[in-house]
Amino acid sequence: MKLHDNGVFLLHIADSFEKIAQYLGGMDKESFFKNSLTQDAVVRNYEIIGEAARNITDDFRALHPEIDWRGMAGLRNILIHQYFGIDLNNVWNISKVHAPDTLAKIQALPEYQTAKKLLSNHRK
């Protein structure tokens, strides 16, 4: 796999979504609002997701319109450029409502499966 391969970016996206799910696992909304460490970790992973989504080629994104590439990149832009006014309600709702579905769609892509297999074989 090349460093700037769509598969690599898909791995980064999936890994970050998995981390977000782990950070928020067992946590309710009120606890999330009170825990700045978890907030920072979740926001950072959305920044990674957005940057990776921005690096997916246009052709690949066009082949997979079921995935909200623009939304991922747009959220990254909001988090980076409007860091002083992050809406934690939106972050929570995205994490609980949209993120699991998006992760499942990413993991279903053949390119993701291939990249994951190559990475797994490389680590052996």
Active-site hit among 4, 12, 61, 76 = 76
Q: The tokens 């799910």 sit on which residue?
A: 21
Active-site hit among 12, 61, 81, 123 = 81
The single-letter code of the amino acid at 4 is: H
Which region, left, alpha or beta, applies to residue 7 given φ > 0 means left and ψ of -120 to 50 means alpha? alpha
Q: Is 12 a catalytic residue?
A: no
Rounded to whole angstroms, the Cα distance separating 70 from 2 reads: 23
The single-letter code of the amino acid at 24 is: L
Enzyme catalytic residues: 76, 81
